[in-house]
């Protein structure tokens, strides 16, 4: 299973970024092989529709689970269509978030936040 | 002659100045391009007799033809599409109506359909026009473009611009003969005035300044204008009488006859600058 985490930095010790569309990096963890990969979130600098583009990035990377803080309505539409499970992570390291997810300690996010909540 | 009234900072008096100017000169068309919150009508009290819908073209998928290849989403520069499991999701409110997705589709599986984003309203002789953007719509340019298309070629036109200095303002001031930059003597007023000055300079437009709410604090604006050789066309004093009239939807020129004369004089001054 491939898990994606929105991240504030480019290592697995970085803290999770609670913003989805406008976080700087995404970490992708393959739970079967334990491989990790950090990619730039090219969508973060979009004028608009960052959540949609970030959602597309996850779809293109065959992600099944997203660990993040909040998602907006448009990103939610994309992730739901792709049946990507969204869970609420904590502001701790990416490694700790993965562990917590595997121990089923993270809740599933059902509701969305308003548009542009992740704008700095 | 087409005169645009802009400010950078909101709430400095664009509508006060543009509606007063319109009311001080003969045979003048007034166009409210602040389509997110048009308020010139509150002062000018037009009788609206024509309502035109403003439509934009957005893409729609012909499902039988679509293979889910994703070329449309790749072509879109505004993230208005995503392709998930062979299905195209379209977010019409993010679409900028450029048609790139339709050109990019190798299967001819996309067509354009019309979507209404607001209206243009006018009185019977079109001496008053304003646009209204539907609540929640993010893109107002098509409404401003339609208003600009309806500008009369003969006679005088005053264009009340949106606040800020982004594309909506650029669209509003384009093709104008002169820009009036309204400001107030506050640090925020000065900061945003400077941005508006840079904008009109870049666009190569002639301009002058109206200093609204002029007071003992006016020095910061006066110094800025002196340093750059910018003309202050007129000053409107910071006055309780004007503010009270405004709160009742009455223009300062109706509360103060001298001001009306001053607006007429400012118009002639601008005319002299444009024709020179």
Decide if B191 is inside a domain.
Answer: yes
Q: What angle do CA B237, B233, B162 make, to 5 degrees?
A: 80
Q: Are residues B34 and B170 in the same domain?
A: yes
CA distance A58 to chain B (A): 10
Q: What is the mean pLDDT of chain B?
A: 95
- B13 and B41 in a common domain: yes
In angstroms, the Cα distances linking B4 to A10, A15, A19, B9, B12 are 49, 49, 40, 15, 15
Residue B138 has pLDDT above 90, yes or no: no
Please tell me the predicted confidence (pLDDT) of residue A117: 77
B205 in a structural domain: yes
Report CB contact under 8 Å: B79, A78: no
- The total number of structural domains that make up chain B: 2
Three-state DSSP state, B162: coil
Q: What is the CATH number of the domain that holds B214?
A: 3.40.50.300
Do B82 and B202 lie in a common domain?
no
In which residue are the tokens 């500008």 written?
Answer: B151
Whether residue B152 sits in one domain with residue B59: no
Closest approach of chain B CAs to the CA of A68, in angstroms?
A: 20
Per-position b or e across B83-108, b if 16+ CB within 10 A of its CB: bbeeebbbbbbbbbbeebbbebbeee
Inform me whether the pLDDT recorded for B41 exceeds 90. yes
Please give the interface size between A and B, counted as residue pairs whose CB atoms are below 8 Å apart.
Answer: 45
Q: Which of B82, B95, B135 is the best residue to mutate to test the A interface, defined by the most A CB atoms within 10 Å of its own CB?
A: B82
Q: What is the DSSP string of A11-40?
A: STTSBBPSBSTT-SEEEEEETTTTEEEEEE
**What residues in B contact A50, CB-CB < 8 Å?**
79
B36 found inside a domain? yes
User: What mean pLDDT is predicted for residues B211-240?
Assistant: 96
Put simply, the answer to whether B79 touches A49 (Cβ < 8 Å) is yes
pLDDT at A85 (0 to 100)? 95
Interface of B with A (CB under 8 A): 73, 78-85, 87, 89, 91, 94, 138
pLDDT digits over A1-23, tens only?
A: 999 999 999 999 999 999 999 99
Average pLDDT over residues A30-49: 93
pLDDT surpassing 90 at residue A41: yes
Residues B44 and B59 in one domain: no
Q: What is the dihedral of CA A72, A74, A77, A80, to 10 degrees?
A: -40
Looking at residue B230, what is its pLDDT?
A: 97
* B253 shares a domain with B211: yes
| pLDDT band of B203, cuts 50, 70, 90 | very high
* pLDDT at position B1: 94
The pLDDT of residue A118 is above 80: no
Whether B88 is in a domain gets the answer: yes
CA distances from A8 to A19, A91, B26, B105 (A): 9, 10, 60, 36
A46, A48, A81: residue with CB nearest B89: A81
B213 and B95 share one domain = no
pLDDT at site B154:
85
Q: Give long-range contacts, CB 8 A cutoff, 24+ apart: A71-74.
A: A71/A20, A71/A21, A71/A109, A71/A112, A71/A113, A72/A20, A72/A21, A72/A112, A72/A113, A72/A114, A72/A115, A72/A116, A72/A117, A72/A118, A73/A112, A73/A114, A73/A115, A74/A49, A74/A115, A74/B91, A74/B94
> Residues B22, B32: contact at Cβ < 8 Å?
no
Distance CA A14, CA B139 (A): 37
According to DSSP, residue B123 is labeled -
Confidence at residue B256, expressed as pLDDT on a 0 to 100 scale: 86
CATH of the domain at B60: 3.30.70.20
Per the prediction, chain A carries an average pLDDT of: 93
Domains, chain A, ranges and CATH?
2-102 (3.30.420.130)
Which pLDDT value is given to residue A110?
Answer: 81
Distance CA B142, CA B256 (A): 38
Select the residue of A43, A48, A81 nearest B84 (Cβ to Cβ): A81
pTM, two decimals, is: 0.85
Measure in Å the smallest separation between the Cα of A57 and chain B Cα atoms.
10
Query: Mean pLDDT throughout B169-179?
Result: 97
pLDDT, residue B255, reads 86
In a domain, B125, yes or no: no
User: Measured between beta carbons, which residues in chain A are less than 8 angstroms from residue B83?
Assistant: 56, 59
Give the range of the structural domain holding residue B234, as residue numbers without chain letter.
2-48+135-275
- Gap between the Cα atoms of A70 and B214, Å rounded: 47
pLDDT greater than 80 at residue A82: yes
pLDDT in the model for residue A120: 62
At residue B264, the pLDDT reads 95
Contact B79 A82 (CB under 8 A): no
Taking contacts as CB-CB distances below 8 angstroms, the residues of chain A near B91 are 49, 52, 74, 77
B179 and B231 share one domain:
yes
Do A52 and B85 count as a contact with CB atoms less than 8 A apart?
A: no
Q: At what angle do helices B187-202 and B219-228 cross, to 10 degrees?
A: 20
- Average pLDDT of span B100-118: 96
A114 class by beta-carbon count within 10 Å (0-12 exposed, 13-18 middle, 19+ buried):
exposed
List all residues 6 or more positions away from B197 whose beta carbon is below 8 Å from its beta carbon. B181, B207, B228, B230
């Amino acid at each position: 299973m491939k898990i994606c985490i929105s991240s504030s930095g480019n290592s697995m010790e970085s803290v999770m970024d609670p913003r989805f569309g406008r976080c700087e990096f995404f970490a992708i963890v393959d739970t079967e092989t334990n491989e990790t990969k950090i990619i730039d979130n090219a969508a973060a600098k979009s004028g608009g529709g960052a959540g949609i583009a970030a959602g597309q990035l996850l779809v293109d990377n065959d992600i099944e689970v997203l660990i993040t803080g909040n998602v907006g309505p448009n990103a939610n539409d994309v992730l739901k269509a792709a049946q990507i499970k969204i869970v609420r992570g904590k502001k701790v390291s990416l490694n700790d978030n993965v562990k917590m997810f595997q121990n089923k300690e993270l809740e599933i996010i059902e509701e969305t936040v308003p548009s542009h909540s992740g704008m700095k | 002659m087409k005169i645009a009234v802009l400010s950078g900072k909101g709430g400095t008096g664009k509508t006060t100045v543009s509606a007063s100017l319109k009311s001080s000169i003969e045979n003048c068309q007034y166009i409210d391009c602040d389509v997110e919150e048009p308020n010139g009508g509150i002062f000018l009290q037009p009788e609206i007799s024509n309502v035109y819908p403003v439509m934009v073209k957005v893409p729609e998928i012909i499902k039988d033809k679509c293979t889910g290849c994703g070329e449309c989403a790749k072509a879109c520069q505004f993230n208005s599409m995503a392709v998930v499991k062979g299905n195209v999701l379209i977010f019409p409110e993010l679409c900028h109506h450029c048609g790139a997705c339709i050109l990019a589709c190798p299967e001819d599986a996309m067509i354009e359909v019309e979507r209404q984003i607001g209206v243009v309203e006018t009185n019977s002789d079109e001496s008053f026009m304003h646009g209204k953007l539907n609540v929640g719509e993010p893109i107002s340019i098509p409404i401003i473009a339609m208003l600009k298309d309806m500008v009369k070629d003969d006679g005088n036109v005053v264009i009340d611009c949106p606040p800020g200095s982004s594309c909506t303002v650029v669209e509003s001031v384009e093709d104008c003969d002169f820009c009036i930059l309204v400001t107030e003597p506050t640090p925020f007023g000065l900061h945003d005035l400077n941005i508006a000055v840079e904008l009109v300079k870049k666009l190569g437009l002639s301009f002058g300044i109206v200093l609204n709410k002029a007071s003992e604090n006016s020095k910061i604006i006066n110094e800025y204008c002196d340093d750059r050789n910018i003309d202050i066309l007129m000053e409107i004093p910071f006055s309780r009488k004007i503010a009270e009239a405004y709160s009742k939807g009455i223009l300062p020129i109706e509360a103060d006859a001298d001001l009306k004369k001053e607006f007429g004089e400012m118009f002639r001054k601008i005319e002299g600058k444009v024709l020179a």
